[in-house]
Copies of this chain bind each other. A is one copy, B any other.
Amino acid sequence: MEQKSSKLLQKLSRLRREHKGLINLMPLQTGGMLTEAAREALAEFGDGYSVCDFCEGSLCNVTNPPIREFVQELLPHFLGCEVATITHGAREAKFMVMHSLARPGDSILVDANRHYTTFVAAERVGLSIIEVPNSGHPEFRVDVNEYATLIKQHAPKLILLTYPDGNYGNLPDARRLGEIAQEYNVPYILNGAYAVGRMPISMVETGADFIIGSGHKSMASAGPVGVLGMKKKWEQIVLRKSGRHANKDIELLGCSVRGVPLMTLMASFPFVKERVAHWNEQVSKAQWFSAELEKLGFTQLGERPHRHDLLHFDAPELYEISKRVREKGYFLYKELKERGIWGPQPGLARSFKLSTFAADRQQLGLVIDSFKAILSKYS
């Protein structure tokens, strides 16, 4: 035990990441790679609570570093909302909205493609969760018109749409759902963890009441950090203050990300703001890549033509291979890694998910060639 523990202590003092420097196609990671400015901020504000040097009681009001200006001026404009704040991440933003607007036993209506954290956040509040189904294999589309039917049946306190979802990269009709939300007067949460920071998106244009983004997923930030935008009318409810400590937000427990992930979010913001203007290039790159992989016998799931860099492929050939090799489902991970590529979840081979967001066409060409080589190696 002593010896084991001392070996572990040694390991801790030299933590290294295996996948550094590889072509990164991991859907969770391609939007969260730091900019150079963020790397500098990381070193500068690494020490615990160093963002709080000039705090006068509230993180979002700190002026040096310029958190207040970022939160009050840049973020609302970027999100197309009236009021914005900082959260620990998208899931924590979902929880705080649900916890503020609904009570245990109330219902919430969510799309069937929702992230698991949408479900867990609602569970944590004690909500009854109703799912708007998707169209099933292979497109898994969510028709937002079905929200109307279910709103009439269940009178939910809240509705939520995942835009896009993390499994298929589908972009349902968020604007149409905005009209439905208004018609039935139900507050509408737009979970844009894979949209905000990647593609143009505006809360006001979709007619949502809340918009949620993830720093580590899509805003070139260290994990974890998120953003939450809302209509002014919700500020008094979601950002309500403590009865005893008048400048402290109850739902943020005073302050949320009191540390370096927020600094990386801010440092990367100018770059992120610029990159969303080039979203069309990302979409055409994803479509080209998807078409090339389909030529190899894989089938792209989700919407076609695809409008997002998150791609999910059925891969029966890889699955057949995995059944007869020693490494089982890990063979794909190993083969790709040997070729300098990191992306599909280790261990999975029946289908796999990739994101083309961080790789350029030349790198993606190498990925395509690698899949070709792997298939021919085992055929």
Residue A52 lies at the interface, judged by CB distance under 8 Å to chain B: yes
Identify which of B37, B250, B258 contacts A224 (C-beta below 8 A).
B258
Q: How far is the CB of A218 from chain B (nearest CB, A)?
A: 8
For the complex, what is the distance from the CA of A312 to the CA of B310, rounded to whole Å? 54
- A116/B245 in contact, CB under 8 A: yes
- A224/B259 in contact, CB under 8 A: yes
Residue A287 lies at the interface, judged by CB distance under 8 Å to chain B: no
Chain B residues lying within 8 Å of A261, measured Cβ to Cβ, are 259-261
For the complex, what is the distance from the CA of A245 to the CA of B216, rounded to whole Å? 22
- B66/A11 in contact, CB under 8 A: yes
A48/B222 contact (C-beta < 8 A), A12-B269, A37-B13, A91-B253 known: yes
Identify which of B19, B37, B342 contacts A14 (C-beta below 8 A).
B37
- A260/B223 in contact, CB under 8 A: yes
- A260/B222 in contact, CB under 8 A: yes
Identify which of B17, B77, B271 contacts A44 (C-beta below 8 A).
B17
Closest B residue to A13 by beta carbon equals: B37
Query: Which of A51-84 touch B at CB < 8 Å?
Result: 51-54, 56, 64-66, 69-70, 73-74, 77
Identify which of B42, B73, B123, B257 contacts A243 (C-beta below 8 A).
B123
Q: How large is the interface on A (under 10, 10 to 19, 20 to 34, 35 or more residues)?
A: 35 or more
Query: Which of A75-128 touch B at CB < 8 Å?
Result: 77, 88-89, 91-92, 95, 99, 116-117, 119-121, 123-124
Query: Which of A1-31 touch B at CB < 8 Å?
Result: 4-5, 8-20, 26, 28-29, 31
Q: How far is the CB of A109 from chain B (nearest CB, A)?
A: 16
Number of copies: 2
Residue A47 lies at the interface, judged by CB distance under 8 Å to chain B: yes
Closest B residue to A15 by beta carbon equals: B41
For the complex, what is the distance from the CA of A33 to the CA of B46, rounded to whole Å? 8
For the complex, what is the distance from the CA of A4 to the CA of B31, rounded to whole Å? 28
Query: Which of A273-287 touch B at CB < 8 Å?
Result: 273
For the complex, what is the distance from the CA of A12 to the CA of B15, rounded to whole Å? 29
Residue A161 lies at the interface, judged by CB distance under 8 Å to chain B: no
Closest B residue to A225 by beta carbon equals: B259
Chain B residues lying within 8 Å of A248, measured Cβ to Cβ, are 116, 120
Chain B residues lying within 8 Å of A5, measured Cβ to Cβ, are 73-74, 77
A13/B267 contact (C-beta < 8 A), A74-B5, A119-B245 known: yes
Q: How far is the CB of A333 from chain B (nearest CB, A)?
A: 10
Identify which of B50, B66, B257 contacts A17 (C-beta below 8 A).
B50
For the complex, what is the distance from the CA of A11 to the CA of B77, rounded to whole Å? 17
Closest B residue to A4 by beta carbon equals: B73
Residue A251 lies at the interface, judged by CB distance under 8 Å to chain B: yes
Which one of A56, A64, A224, A257 has the highest number of Cβ atoms from chain B below 10 Å of its Cβ?
Answer: A224
Chain B residues lying within 8 Å of A29, measured Cβ to Cβ, are 47-50, 52
Q: A8-B70, A17-B53, A26-B53 are in contact. List 17 more A-B contacts (CB 8 A).
A: A5-B73, A9-B269, A10-B270, A15-B44, A17-B44, A20-B44, A29-B47, A29-B49, A32-B50, A33-B47, A34-B46, A38-B46, A48-B217, A53-B342, A88-B88, A116-B245, A259-B261
What are 29 A-to-B residue pairs whose CB atoms are below 8 Å? A9-B74, A9-B269, A12-B70, A13-B37, A15-B37, A15-B41, A15-B266, A17-B44, A17-B50, A20-B44, A26-B53, A29-B47, A29-B48, A31-B48, A32-B48, A34-B46, A34-B48, A42-B260, A47-B222, A50-B223, A51-B223, A56-B347, A88-B92, A116-B245, A119-B244, A120-B245, A223-B257, A224-B257, A224-B259
